[in-house]
Structure 1
């Protein structure tokens, strides 16, 4: 039976089911499995995050952007698209149409924000490396003059 309402218990079931699928996925599973050492703790944080997003509980106190930026080299648009596809399928499996649509809408916005943050930070890092290279003192040796 699908959940008609979003509750703490329904969020816990969603997170458990969804990340079980993510961990098995060929594209994004390896990224998550290498990045996360303590899955029970991580799942608790994710439950708090979605509780805050969907129920306004304020239980989540973290900063998701730095965690995603740190792994930005391994995260692509395709990674986000796969995550969202699994998310939509899982929310549709567990929730009635209304709540599933709200979960999907929120996830779409969050994913876009995280992807833009990753791209901004990677572009900024590339720019800083280029600036440092340009500012590096030129090296010359007498042998080059000959």
Structure 2
């Protein structure tokens, strides 16, 4: 039994959004240098991210990466980069898709971004939380 898509986009729409997004990322002053320090083969990266979105949106079982681990291991990805990423991504979604599809995909991207950014919260912040005294 095949599951219906989470968001009824086509694979061509996914490819177009991913391509346009990474074209924009390369020009974005904050994100561009971060991506450039990790991505040397853009077509391969875009194909991998296309598989990620096919998995997330269409329930295709074609992506087996671990985004949390990858972003955490990068070393220069910070939680405050995700609002920039999401604003740029939302703009592309709204340019490329009908409003209902753009909104649905955006909502999922924001949930994923929120989860990734929580995973990137600096560990030092834990030490700054006041401890309750139980005396």
- Smaller-chain TM-score range? 0.7 to 0.9
Contact 2:48 2:63 in 1 (8 A): yes
Counterpart of 2:123? 123
Runs of 4+ in 1 over 6 A off after TM superposition: none
SS across alignment from 1:61? coil
Residues 118, 72 of structure 1: alpha-carbon distance in 2 compared, 3 angstrom cutoff: farther
The answer as to 2:10 corresponding to 1:7 is yes
Residues 72, 118 of structure 1: 8 Å contact kept = no
Q: What do the CA deviations read for 1:69-120 (whole angstroms, capped 9, x no partner)? A: 012444231x11110001110000000011100111011000010011111x
Report Cα offsets for 1:123-145 as digits up to 9, x if no partner: 17x87xxxxxxxxxxxxxxxxxx
Unaligned segments of structure 1, at least 5 residues: 128-146
The structure with the largest helix share of the pair is: 1
| 1:67 maps onto 2:70 in alignment | yes
Structure index of larger Rg: 1
Q: Report the number of matched residues.
A: 120
The gaps in structure 2 that reach 5 residues or longer are: 1-7, 128-135
Task: Tell me how far apart the structure 1 counterparts of residues 44 and 76 of structure 2 sit (CA, whole Å).
Answer: 24
Say whether residues 1:113 and 2:93 are aligned partners.
no
Q: Is the 8 A contact 1:45 1:60 kept in 2?
A: yes
Alignment equivalent of 2:22, drawn from 19, 24, 31: 19
